[in-house]
């Protein structure tokens, strides 16, 4: 039995992905997500695909869903800025339960102006597209939020975004 009290957020995410039968993981590399990415690569349960761009990751997860496989795409805030067209023209109208995990950049001491601007636009874009989203700030929220968002996405056949706050990850990407 796993001692859940000693799990770090990436370990919790891996456990919850498995519990929800999410086997496909797509991502574009990100420093903040690297602890999670390393765990996923080390686990033969997952099929991992690393496309060149986030909109490709979205397309791969959408195609896998149509073939009966559950997936998630990992990205940072600036990567999210590349996918509104894919969300608006594919994911939302065709009711594809795309689960996104987004490491939040652009806040809490961010040094890049572009990241800060993109961060200010992310939630309004999600809201305007009707994409359910929630920012996880505390390790005690990880299991509940990740599990709930995955279950909701697949039950309602709608996309969902899990935003990982720097308050959770304790990192601003370099």
In a domain, 17, yes or no: yes
Q: Taking the alpha carbons of 80, 83, 89, 93 in that order, is the dihedral positive or negative?
A: negative
In a domain, 95, yes or no: yes
User: 50: closest CA among 42, 41, 65?
Assistant: 41
In a domain, 72, yes or no: yes
Q: Which pLDDT tens digit goes with each residue over 62-115? A: 999 999 999 999 999 889 999 999 999 999 999 999 999 999 875 766 666 667
pLDDT at 170: 80
Compute CA 83 distance to the chain's CA centroid, rounded to the nearest angstrom: 13
Contact 126, 64 (CB under 8 A): no
Compute CA 122 distance to the chain's CA centroid, rounded to the nearest angstrom: 13
| Residue 104, token pair as written in the block | 């939040």
Compute CA 75 distance to the chain's CA centroid, rounded to the nearest angstrom: 6
Average pLDDT over residues 49-56: 96
SS3 at position 119:
helix
In a domain, 105, yes or no: yes
pLDDT at 67: 97
Tell me the sheet residues that pair with 163.
Answer: 102, 135
Using CB atoms within 10 Å of the CB of residue 5, give its burial: 0 to 12 exposed, 13 to 18 middle, 19+ buried.
Answer: exposed
Q: Which pLDDT tens digit goes with each residue over 113-166? A: 667 777 778 899 999 999 999 999 999 999 999 999 999 999 999 999 999 998
Residue 91: domain span: 4-169
In a domain, 31, yes or no: yes
In a domain, 55, yes or no: yes
pLDDT at 173: 45
Location of structure tokens 């996309």: 159
pTM: 0.91
In a domain, 140, yes or no: yes
In a domain, 174, yes or no: no
pLDDT at 12: 97
CATH number at residue 150: 3.40.50.970
Domains of the chain: total:
1
pLDDT at 10: 96
| Residue 157, token pair as written in the block | 């056949």
Higher-pLDDT residue of 138 and 173 is 138
pLDDT at 75: 95
């Amino acid at each position: 039995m796993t001692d859940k009290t000693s799990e770090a957020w990436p370990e919790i995410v891996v456990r919850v992905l498995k519990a929800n039968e999410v086997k496909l993981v797509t991502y574009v590399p990100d420093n903040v997500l690297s602890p999670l990415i390393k765990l996923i690569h080390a686990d033969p349960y997952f099929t991992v695909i690393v496309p060149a761009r986030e909109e490709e990751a979205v397309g791969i997860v959408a195609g896998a869903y149509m073939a009966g496989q559950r997936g998630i795409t990992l990205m940072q805030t600036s990567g999210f800025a590349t996918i509104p067209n894919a969300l608006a023209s594919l994911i939302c109208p065709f009711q594809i339960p795309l689960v996104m995990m987004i490491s939040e950049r652009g806040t809490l001491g961010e040094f890049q102006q572009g990241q800060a601007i993109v961060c200010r636009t992310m939630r309004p874009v999600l809201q305007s597209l009707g994409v359910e989203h929630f920012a996880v700030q505390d390790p005690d929220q990880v299991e509940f939020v990740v599990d709930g968002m995955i279950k909701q996405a697949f039950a309602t056949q709608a996309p969902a975004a899990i935003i990982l706050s720097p308050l959770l990850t304790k990192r601003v990407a370099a």
